Amino acid sequence: MSSPVPKPETRNLKHETNKDMNKQNLNLLILEDNPDHAELMVKELKKEGFIFEWERVETKKSFKKALAKKPDIILSDYNLPSFDGMTAIRLQQQTAPDIPLILVSGTIGEELAVECMKAGAIDYVLKDKLSRLGPVIKRAIKEAEEHIKRKQAEEEIVKLSKIVETTPEAIIITDIQGKIEYVNPGLLAMSGFEDDSKIIGQSLFLFSDEDGKKRLHEEVIPELLSGGKWKGEIPVKRKDGSVFPAEMICSIILDEKEQSKYLLSNYNDITERKQAEKALQESNKRLNIILNHLHAGVVIIDTENYIIIDINPMAAQMIGAPKEEIIGKICHKYICPVEIGKCPIIDLGQNMDNSEREIINTKGEIISIQKTVIPITLNGRNCLLENFIDITKLKNAEKELKKRLRELEVYYKATLGREGRIIELKHEINRLLEQFGEKRKYGV
């Protein structure tokens, strides 16, 4: 049966000179059927200045349960009533191989001790030489820490290797003279090579056309020598001789262990991006041609501060100011100064404004416009797109037509009474002619 777990026993080492390794608060598991022997071990470790909590167990079942708590160190006797040290080592290796196990026995022989160490024990200490226990534990802790660090480093290497092997970007490692030592699958896929047999040992210039070689000599290498890193666009040549644009990041890395330098280059095929940029440029060019020759004014306004961020020539002509003067100014200064405070509130993404308005150009002339305002998103900014046409002539013609209509109505009303009197006069003349025996003169 396992003995009760004693209260943690610590020692104030604040002003002592023991090493940091001793100052760690260790969790100690003692596999020992003799409580007195366990107490001797504890006493020896206290004398060495260790700070620890400890638990003693003696059965296979209690040992398994204690292993699940992940102790820092295991001290194990070899001869136990229910099982032996070799079985304990095998259990430890199966469930917690990173935890150091030290055999502490009085009857173990040298050959058996060697077998136990081959099975996974870190070391062994004879019970009549417990003075060795402290140094052995220190070494075990140090080796365990180094093992964990090494394991973490190996796991990191495996993780990085998987990233390098699976990334679509092309990666090349060369020596400082540019001789290729490694390429990843991404480079093979990008360059058209089936494997690296015809690449390893070749110069980095293998993937450069004449323009690329020139760039490497004139830009990349000098920049690397001065700052250790270069980033930019560069043409890359495939196996079949075709060339594609790539974004290249090149840097010098130092292997401190070997005190040697390497050149790490990675390429990202930007053909699609360049094509998209070209298509966008052509689209923008066509759009600018349309806007510049459009007979309607177009203005783009940032809704955050109502600043004009772009304007086409026709709008600038209507306003009567150069484009450079208008951009960056608040819209009310140019677009609707006659109606400051009456600008419709636009519910972005839902509504639009379609109305007639008036603006005052820089000459002080009032211009009537038919304006359409719609909300848009431009480069992540909420904006208003206003387009408007000059309807001043139309409005003036409309006013003139209304004025003429009013004049005709007045004239019509004035002539209505006079026309009636003329008819009566014709009737009177015809009647008098008949009285004198003459024919009627006017037909009414």
Instruction: Supply the DSSP string of 242-286, one letter for each residue.
Output: -EEEEEEEEEEEEETTTTEEEEEEEEEE-HHHHHHHHHHHHHHHH
Amino acid 5: pLDDT: 34
Cα separation values, 393 from 21, 369, 398, Å: 94, 10, 8
Mean pLDDT over all residues of the chain? 81
Please write the tens of the pLDDT for every residue from 113-122: 889 989 999 8
Question: Same domain, yes or no, for 47 and 116?
Answer: yes
Give percent of the chain with pLDDT exceeding 90.
17
Residues 99 and 175 in one domain: no
Most confident of 5-9, 155-159, 363-367: 363-367
Residues 343, 240, single domain; the answer is no
Q: Are residues 318 and 361 in the same domain?
A: yes
Is residue 204 within 8 A of residue 178, CB to CB? The reply is yes
Res. 257: pLDDT tops 80: no
| Long-range pairs, 6-10, Cβ under 8 A, ≥24 | 6/54, 8/52, 8/53, 9/42, 9/46, 9/52, 9/53, 10/51
CATH of the domain at 350: 3.30.450.20
Nearest residue to 103 (alpha-carbon basis) of 345, 115, 413? 115
Q: Please check the confidence at residue 3 and state whether its pLDDT lies above 70.
A: no
Note whether 173 and 144 are same-domain residues. Answer: no
Do 84 and 180 share a domain, yes or no? Answer: no
pLDDT in tens, 367-396: 888 888 888 888 888 888 888 888 888 888
In a domain, 435, yes or no: no
| Residue 183 sits in the same domain as residue 140 | no
Q: Is 349 helix (H, G, I), strand (E, B) or coil?
A: coil
Q: For residue range 172-230, list pLDDT tens digits in order.
A: 988 888 899 998 888 898 899 988 889 999 998 999 989 988 988 888 888 888 877 88
Neighbours of 321 (CB within 10 A): 17
Altogether, the residues listed in the chain come to a count of: 444
Residue 51 lies in a domain: yes
Same domain, 58 and 139: yes
Same domain, yes or no, for 108 and 194?
A: no
Q: Which of 91, 118, 150 is the endpoint of a domain? A: 150
CA distances from 431 to 421, 424, 425, 426, 428 (A): 16, 11, 10, 9, 5
More confident residue, 178 or 342: 178
Residue 57 in domain: yes
- Which has the minimum average pLDDT: 19-23, 300-304, 365-369? 19-23
Residues 130 and 63 both lie in one domain = yes
Q: Which amino acid belongs to residue 339?
A: E
Contact yes or no for 208/191 (Cβ under 8 A) = no
Confidence of residue 35 (pLDDT cuts 50, 70, 90): very high
Joined together, the tokens standing for residue 303 give 């809704």
| 321: in domain | yes
Cα–Cα distance between 314 and 51 in angstroms, integer? 85
Q: Which of 12, 4, 9 is nearest to 26 (CA)?
A: 9
CA atoms within 13 A on the CB side of 386: 31
Q: Provide the pLDDT for residue 348.
A: 44
Give the closest residue to 148 by CA, choosing from 90, 72, 87.
72
Q: Is 265 among the domain residues?
A: yes
Beta bridge partners of 420: none
Please give the distance of CA 30 from its chain centroid, rounded to a whole number: 51
Nearest to 178 by CA among 204, 199, 153: 204
CATH number for the domain that contains residue 99? 3.40.50.2300
pLDDT at 399: 84
Q: What is the mean pLDDT of residues 400-425?
A: 73
What's the domain range around 224?
167-274
- Together in a domain, 264 and 299: no
> Domain for residue 384, yes or no?
yes
User: Is 336 a residue whose pLDDT tops 70?
Assistant: no
Domain-located, residue 440: no
Q: Please state the φ and ψ torsions of residue 360, each to the nearest 5 degrees.
A: -110, 120
The per-residue pLDDT for 14 is 30
pLDDT tens readout for residues 80-101: 888 888 999 999 999 888 899 9
**Which of 150, 177, 197 corresponds to the end of one domain?**
150
pLDDT at 436 over 90: no
In angstroms, the CA 199 to CA 193 distance is 8
Considering 212, 242, 274, which residue would you say is the last residue of a domain? 274
Task: Give the count of beta carbons closer than 10 Å to the beta carbon of residue 115.
Answer: 14
Please give the DSSP secondary-structure letter assigned to residue 176. Answer: T
Number of domains composing the chain: 3
**Domain shared by 28 and 142, yes or no:** yes
Does some domain include residue 173?
A: yes
